[in-house]
Chain A
Amino acid sequence: MFLAGCPAKPEEEEEKPLVEEPVKGGSLVIGYDQEPDVLNPFIKGGDMMATAVIVRVVLQGLLEIKPDLSYGPQLAEKVPSIEDGTVTENPFTVIYKIKKEAKWSDGKPITSDDVKFTWETIMNKKWNIISRTGYDKIEKIETPDEKSVKIVFKEPYAPWKDLFGGSCFILPKHALEGKDFNTVMNRAIPIAAGPFKFKEWKSGDSITLVRNENYWKDLAYLDSVTFKYIPETTTQLAQFKTGEVDFIYPPPDVDLLEQLKATPNTVVNVKAGTVWEHIAFNNTDEHLKDARVRKAIAYGIDREVIAEEVMKGQVKPLHSFIVPEQAAYYVPVWEVYKYDPEKAEALLKEAGYAKGTDGVYAKTGKRLKLTFSTTAGNVARERIQQIVQSGLKKIGIEIEIKNTEADAYFGTWLPESQYQIGLWAWLASPDPGYTTLFAGDQIPDKGQNYYRYVNDAATKLWHKQDVTVDETERIKLIKEAQTLMAEDCPFVPLYQRFEFIAHTDKLHGPVNNPTLQGPTWNMGEWWLEK
């Protein structure tokens, strides 16, 4: 994991708590660009980061995701494992023990019934649940006693840790049972399990949380936290400078970052984010179906220059579809594709192409002219296109840029593979099971294999890792898949977008968590200097 940005300040921050003791009290105001549609993270509209940053500190899961993308216990006593017998195969079963002291903000204990209720709610066809993936693999949930949960699966399910943990939260049965789940948690969260409770939502303006005085762990230091919704980033900067907001988590923007770094009494924390950009090939295209052409393009793109120019050196090239934060699984397999125009041209010649008089390679009369498309109006992506276009011109490939609006791009162009070379981003998730993106049987509308990439060996690996519960074995399979795929080069990873938080130096405790949950994950430990 790399930490770019302000080297002097984070260090200073580490030293301070040694001298000063955390103090209780104070209200924090966070400026945020997007307001949640609804607060219920399970139903349609609840998939926003804006929802996650709030729900994260009000509700809890059995497990939580740490900054290094590993899982740690939250409501559970520990992470179940094969070694201690809490994970067993045939049938695949996971046993959780909920912490004895864990209780809701109304004093009632958090029980195994709540876990079962959560599963039943997700599976209830009446509710507009976003996704039931994984939960539909569960056969039954047994509750031998108040604090024990036994989850029996129909078949092995490798990303089981993400169920009831990570981006899932345990629901309070006694507060929600019999209510309309499509509406009951949209505007308020009735009960808390985490360090903060929901207080009020002023539509279009702000959401306020207050300390959960009944929290089962150490109480939060802050009295209250208000998320103020400020859509315009420049306004966020003005609000931050005048002190109207104490903390911002704006969309990554290099200019804004520079300005924040120049602002006195400010801590800026930059980090590689979970969104990664890549150049994609349509693997069924008449030119691009040849791996040598795809590789030639990979060698003809200077990814160092792209990272440097587009992201002003805030990021480094990414060498896999797994991000380095997923350390156990990550292999930098795309590292071999270092900028090498000679090798690129050699590969084209090997593939049967010959350079025409116009300097463009051609094969059986067909010039190597490819369209390159992305979402129109995205400045960073358009800059990448220009760099790629001029780079590939040097190795004899003509690129025509043809973009469209994001809706049409993701709604039609990609699912129907109406592109030759594409450019878009994926969100890295803590679990690296990307079967729906890369397996050969996941071409739309089965899955999201927009590359139409088919490699039977890789497909087998992806499906095998889906049902491999043994962690070491699964790591091996995913590493193997990376190696295989880099050899085929169905796309070229570019970089992870950076993300940053900025806050007053009076605030202590924030650690930017590059998961889908955003930087509020440890908000219970934040404190403000008086």
Chain B
Amino acid sequence: MFTYVARRLLHSIPVFILVSLIVFILMQYAGDPLARLRLNPYVTPQDIARLEREMGLDKPVSVRYILWLKNFVKGDWGESLSHHRPVFELIVERTINTLQLMMVALLFTFILAVPIGIYSAVRQYSKFDYVATFFSFLGFSMPVFWFGLILQMVLGYYLMKVLGFQLFYTASMYSVGKEHDIINRLQHLALPVITLSLAYIAGWSRYQRSSMLEVIRADYLRTARAKGLKESKVILKHGLRNALIPIVTVIMLDMPALFGGAVITEYIFAWPGIGRLLHYAIINGDYFLVMGITMVSAFLVVFFNLLADVLYGFLDPRIVYE
């Protein structure tokens, strides 16, 4: 097991290098860190040239890449060009906020999606199944941007008018001065969590339904029933454990999003997370920051893929890694 994990990690090193190289080159065509200054009639072209020199932007891409890579490997992630702060510090600060949002959203999704999927499969073609199917397609096709803004107006503004007090807040993490008020934070979390979860619930419940349907028809379930086990035990113990393998893969592949956040949701709900940080970094050509975030994302993708493979071993004793 240990050698397997070690080998997989070693194999991923070329992947990281390739990812970093591609992103670095792409960033040269993204935003320009001096764009705003170029429009300012009081900043002369000489000033622009001097600032480019001070920021090291006058060096060729290849030189800058090798310099970045060398420092990165040594643990120096560089300083953000726009925020003038260490990249690592910024990433940690924003990751904490993103994790709060994503963990609640994914937990909420898991709690809803798995039972919906199981129930839909067990009662295939029932009214519940049709309703669930309808809503999951709706969830799949709903544009996040539009849905989030509608929630703000309907559950934020109009609900407030009806109730006479504000149940759900429309944006940001907490009200001014109410940082440590848990209730206030939950009231702020509700709308972005609903927005984010909608598409995930739709996806995960469909996976759960189809993998459950497959298992239900398996011979070993018939055997279990023949032994005289209760139906609930048949489904939840023998069926569910096998039906979880595919959804574990899906969940693990979605896990890097825990870190990456959701750019659009964070943007609409003014959530100070990593997605918004990345968006701002890209449009401003802040390549140190973009590289830092990308490398963490790449690592997480590799890591969770590996974790999914390892988890199969626990869920299905037939899978053994040598």
Query: Which residues of A approach B to under 8 Å, CB–CB?
Result: 27, 29, 37-38, 43-45, 47-48, 128, 130-133, 182-183, 186-187, 202-206, 208, 226, 228-232, 234-235, 238-239, 241-244, 406-407, 410-411, 415, 425-427, 429, 434, 436-437, 444-448
Contact = CB atoms under 8 A, between A and B. Distances in A.
Nearest to B268: A232
Contact of B45 (A183, A187, A242, A446): A446
22 contacts: A27-B177, A37-B82, A43-B84, A47-B36, A47-B37, A130-B47, A133-B42, A133-B43, A186-B84, A203-B93, A205-B172, A231-B276, A232-B267, A238-B157, A238-B170, A241-B157, A242-B170, A243-B166, A244-B175, A406-B35, A429-B42, A434-B41
B97 interface: yes
B148 to A, nearest CB: 8
Interface residues of B, number: 49
Closest 6 CB pairs of A and B: A204-B272, A238-B152, A230-B270, A238-B170, A205-B272, A37-B82
B38 interface: yes
Given A186-B83, A429-B41, A445-B49, 6 more contacts: A44-B51, A45-B82, A130-B51, A133-B43, A230-B171, A411-B32
Contacts of A436: 41, 44
B176 A407 contact: no
Interface string B187-212: 00000000000000000000000000
Contacts of B153: 238
A203 B95 CA distance: 12
B251 interface: no
B246 interface: no
A35 to B, nearest CB: 8
Contacts of A437: 41
Nearest to B271: A204
Contacts of A205: 172-173, 270, 272
Contact of B152 (A37, A132, A202, A235): A235
B160 A242 contact: yes
Contact of B47 (A131, A235, A426, A427): A131
Contact of B149 (A228, A235, A241): A235
Best-surrounded residue of B39, B47, B93, B277 (most CB of chain A within 10 A): B39
Best-surrounded residue of B41, B51, B269, B277 (most CB of chain A within 10 A): B41
A229 B270 contact: yes
Nearest to B166: A242
Nearest to A230: B270
B83 A37 contact: yes
A231 B277 CA distance: 12
A186 B94 CA distance: 18
Interface in B32-84: 32, 35-45, 47, 49, 51, 54-55, 82-84
B47 A242 contact: no
B273 interface: yes
A415 B170 CA distance: 43
A352 B46 CA distance: 41
A242 B37 CA distance: 36
A206 B94 CA distance: 14
Interface in B174-232: 175-177
B172 A228 contact: yes
Nearest to B173: A205
A263 B117 CA distance: 44
B138 to A, nearest CB: 22
Contacts of B43: 47, 130-131, 133
Given A205-B172, A406-B35, A448 B270 contact: no
A407 B35 contact: yes
A38 B176 contact: no
Given A128-B54, A206-B176, A427 B84 contact: no
